[in-house]
Structure 1
Amino acid sequence: MNKTIQLILLFLFFVLLQVLVLNNILLFGYINPYLYIAYIFIFPLSQKRIPFLTVSFFLGLCVDLFSNSGGIHAFATLFIAYIRLFLVRTIFKKTESDYLLFDLRLETFDKVFNYVAILTVLHHFILFSFINFSFSNFSSVIINTLLSTLFTLILYFLGSFIFRKKLS
């Protein structure tokens, strides 16, 4: 299948999964997984930066439209898409010439975990900061960030394990 069509289908899958299933999960009043950001993690590095940032913005905007959240998902998603290359260079020690061959599935678990965890924490912290938008609710921001990050990471790594086994 054409790589562009695969990316479009993956985009639609993550948006629909988020808005139809995951947005309806709220455990203990704090925990809500935001698995749609996995699209940012696995998007090919070989693609041009501006189209990637545009697609990332629209990914967040689609979730915002269905969640009635006024652009906070778009901002948080665009931010992690913007810093993704910095993290790839820092964590995986990749240069621009390595981008064509870069595959997250071929990297060691500790590096992948650091990469995914940092992006997830940043996304969730920005998201919950805008949701609460007050220093008096800072503890709520931290609790929501940590618990939702934990749930998102569990779902991400469980999903990547299941799909990796199916594809092998």
Structure 2
Amino acid sequence: MNNTVFLNSLRFVLLILAQVLIFNAMNFMDSINPLVYVIFFYWYPIKGNRTLFMLISFLLGLIIDIFSDTMALNAIASLTVAYARPVIMRFCFGVNYEFQNFSFKNTTKVQRITFMALLILIHQLVFFSLEILSFAHILLILKKVFATGLVTLVLCTLFSSLFSPTSE
């Protein structure tokens, strides 16, 4: 248990540092800024305390907001993803995820990438909808969600395959 707490704490700090120091400074094509800290929602233990997870998710988003000057947009998007995570897991992995012995090792790569893509999609939709805050600009919102989401998904998939112990 202590090993899990230490690993998640380390991931928390490293993802904040990576997002703030490296990825916030990147701008692909002048508008795409990958939000790779979203992989924390993928890596968090499946059977972890839900209340603690939501609190940590809010804190993660809030810290990113403080350093990014984004007025709590990341905090709201992170909290939304944390709240929706069980529904997304049930959608991607079926009823199997509710069993005690469920592990990502027992799932297919397509299921894991779908899970990660849905986490990123929800985060990006909430983030950019609140950032732009106008249905008149729905095409701009969708463009930003798609472009940033795609780059974020590629980077998160890369990170997951490099740093996740459950990768095959």
* The two structures share one fold, judged by TM-score above 0.5: yes
Structure 1's consecutive aligned runs of 4 or more residues displaced over 4 angstroms after TM superposition are none
Alignment correspondent of 1:142 = 142
Coordinate RMSD, CA, aligned: 1.9
Separation of aligned partners in 2, 1:96 and 1:34:
26
Separation of aligned partners in 2, 1:139 and 1:59:
29
User: Which deviates further from its counterpart, 25-34 or 15-24?
Assistant: 25-34
Alignment correspondent of 1:63 = 64
Alignment correspondent of 1:36 = 37
- How much has 1:29 moved relative to structure 2? 2.0
TM-score by structure 1 length?
Answer: 0.90
Unmatched 5+ residue regions in structure 1?
Answer: none
Q: Does structure 1 retain, via aligned residues, the 8 Å contact 2:96–2:102?
A: no
Amino acid at match of 1:121: L
- How much has 1:32 moved relative to structure 2? 1.1
Amino acid at match of 1:61: L
Alignment correspondent of 2:89 = 88
Unmatched 5+ residue regions in structure 2?
Answer: none
Separation of aligned partners in 2, 1:92 and 1:114:
10
Q: Does structure 2 retain, via aligned residues, the 8 Å contact 1:121–1:145?
A: yes
Q: Does structure 2 retain, via aligned residues, the 8 Å contact 1:30–1:143?
A: no
Q: What is the count of residue pairs matched by the alignment?
A: 166
Q: Tell me: CA distance 1:40–1:10, structure 2 relative to 1, closer, same or farther (3 Å).
A: same
- How much has 1:63 moved relative to structure 2? 0.3
Tell me the secondary structure at the aligned position of residue 27 of structure 1: coil
TM-score by structure 2 length?
Answer: 0.90
Q: Tell me: CA distance 1:53–1:139, structure 2 relative to 1, closer, same or farther (3 Å).
A: same
Q: Does structure 1 retain, via aligned residues, the 8 Å contact 2:41–2:119?
A: no
Give the % identical residues. 28
